[in-house]
Chains A and B, each alone.
Chain A
Amino acid sequence: MDRNHTALILDGSLGHGCVALLALSGPRSGDLVVAESAEPQRSHLERIATLLPSEASRAELSAIVVGVGPGSYTGIRAASAAAAGVAAALNLPTIAIPSDRALYAAAKEVGGETVVLPLGTREVLVIREAGSEIAAHADAPASADLARVASRLPHAFANLASTALSEALAAAARGEAPQRSEIQLRYPSPPRGVDGRGV
């Protein structure tokens, strides 16, 4: 097959979604087109539609890369629901990538070591190389600039998914059915031995 292949990248860990299209083959291979969002609440599906305006563009789509958290409660659900829907409709494989790992990789690209992601009114997620943990707003270290991290996030997802994307393309070339397992969302596990009561 000599058709071009693309992958759709979807993540909602930052609340406002990350929606991007990655070229996997052809002259533009490796290029990323990002659906910018002036309005943070604009739905993932609307933004996907701007990246895939035609039947021909949808026919090139070969895989969905989805960020499965941890991150914004609403954001990761919106992204994973959109991913599951598009994957089911177009019979595509889904590749699940931990959002915190992508955020960390994006931070590294802009010279940061730590990402502090707002989770709730009191809680933040502190993302470092060694792992992620929940901390109180007041105790959180300085964060890499989230706007700059967001700008590198599609690229980080593309890098983290590259091996799985190659495998998915190879499997498709062999005529195998796409791997579309259930999208399992990830959470930072709360520390053990903590009573439910003391917030």
Chain B
Amino acid sequence: MISLRIELSNLAATQQLGTIIAHHLRAGDRLLLIGEIGSGKTTLARAIGSALHADPPLTSPTFLLVSEHQGAIPIWHADAYRLPPGSDPLAAGLIDERHAAGITIIEWPEQVRWPLQGEGSSLLEVELTPGAHDDARGVTLRIGDAERAKSLHTAALAAGIEVADGS
């Protein structure tokens, strides 16, 4: 899995990164958003949704568990925060064969006991951590697909976002 380390200096940069990620997503992708409350998971999800013309716009799905959106591509936005730790994602509806037709964004994926380990070209992981100040965020982006990682890296650099190859 390729890992990219990205520094976001403000909210606009977070939104910009969301747009860049959105343009690199394709049908069948599963995007995991990891980070504490207030780390910017939903902000990033919203930016991705906005870039894909999501209708209705993405909000926090904490109380819905999974919300479905039309757009340039179907989007499922899930939040496992309220699920008991170790929950079965099949029983919770986080795994659905219909998701192959669109992209699935899952917040708090660590709450779930996923049935498969390992990597996959359709798997993307974004971990958000606090930055140097209130609006800044550190992002670790892990992608199973090397070509996409490279393209994302290039696009982020072109947008003036600071990127380093992680390990």
Contacts and interface: CB of A to CB of B under 8 A. Distances in A.
Interface of A: 15, 70, 72-74, 117-123, 134-138, 185, 187-191, 194, 196-199
Contacts of B90: 70, 73, 119-120, 187-188, 190
Nearest to A197: B110
Given A138-B120, A187-B91, A194-B115, 17 more contacts: A73-B90, A119-B96, A120-B97, A121-B30, A121-B99, A135-B116, A136-B116, A137-B120, A185-B91, A189-B88, A190-B114, A196-B85, A197-B110, A199-B30, A199-B109, A199-B114, A199-B116
Contacts of B125: 199
In the A-B complex, the 3 residue pairs with the smallest Cβ-Cβ separation, listed nearest first, are: A120-B95, A190-B115, A118-B97
Contacts of A119: 90, 95-97
A15 B100 CA distance: 12
B32 A118 contact: no
A68 to B, nearest CB: 12
B98 A15 contact: yes
Contacts of B86: 196
B150 interface: no
B29 A121 contact: yes
A70 B96 CA distance: 12
B122 interface: yes
